[in-house]
């Protein structure tokens, strides 16, 4: 399979196109395309794309909620026409607290919804799947028995050092 990447006329720099062309023309060129396809089709890449799309749609809901309900309440508290006009007057200094409050409310609403509508159900689902697989809920002892990240990294380091030492011994014996 031959894939040719042509530089568009009038482009300023064809270096990227040339690099892509070289990568795709190698003996593993077809493997490169296959590898890219496998990378894109991995579950976590697809899940991330779905999360970004849903997050964008969810932003519109949160913005409407903040603009329609919370902003007027905050504006009424500070006697302003809109939340961006809400200021806190301290002597000659005016602090524009309205925009900050709107951002904090936005963040808290998103965090609450993500926690209660995504994190909590996923934890319950994972626990349910564990019970289906193992026949019991995970105990504290099983959770504590799992090695820590530091322990795993130490084990990997020791295995690599042992592997390198055995390779050096083999090389010196030849």
Tell me which of 11-20, 80-89, 116-125, 140-149 is least confident: 11-20
The residue ranking higher by pLDDT, 155 or 1, is: 155
Report helix, strand or coil for 25: helix
Share of the chain above pLDDT 90, in %: 8
151: its two tokens: 């322990």
Mean pLDDT of 123-140: 86
Let me know if 102 is exposed, middle or buried by CB neighbors in 10 A (0-12, 13-18, 19+).
Answer: buried
Confidence (pLDDT) at 154 = 92
Rounded CA separation 69/81 (Å): 14
Assess contact for 114 and 59: CB atoms under 8 A: no
Q: Whole-prediction pTM value?
A: 0.44
Let me know if 83 is exposed, middle or buried by CB neighbors in 10 A (0-12, 13-18, 19+).
Answer: buried
| pLDDT band of 145, cuts 50, 70, 90 | low
């Amino acid at each position: 399979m031959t894939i040719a990447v042509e530089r568009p006329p009038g482009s300023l720099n064809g270096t990227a196109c040339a690099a892509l062309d070289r990568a795709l023309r190698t003996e593993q060129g077809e493997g490169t395309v296959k590898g890219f396809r496998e990378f894109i089709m991995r579950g976590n890449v697809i899940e991330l794309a779905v999360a970004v799309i849903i997050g964008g749609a969810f932003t519109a809901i949160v913005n409407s909620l903040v603009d329609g309900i919370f902003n007027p309440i905050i504006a009424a508290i500070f006697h302003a026409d809109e939340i961006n006009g809400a200021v806190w007057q301290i002597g000659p200094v005016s602090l524009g607290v309205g925009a900050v409050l709107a951002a904090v409310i936005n963040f808290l609403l998103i965090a609450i919804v993500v926690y209660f509508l995504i994190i909590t159900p996923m934890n319950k689902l994972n626990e349910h799947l564990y019970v289906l697989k193992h026949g019991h809920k995970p105990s504290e002892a099983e959770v504590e028995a799992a090695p820590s990240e530091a322990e795993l990294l130490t084990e990997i380091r020791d295995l690599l050092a042992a592997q390198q030492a055995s390779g050096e011994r083999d090389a010196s014996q030849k």
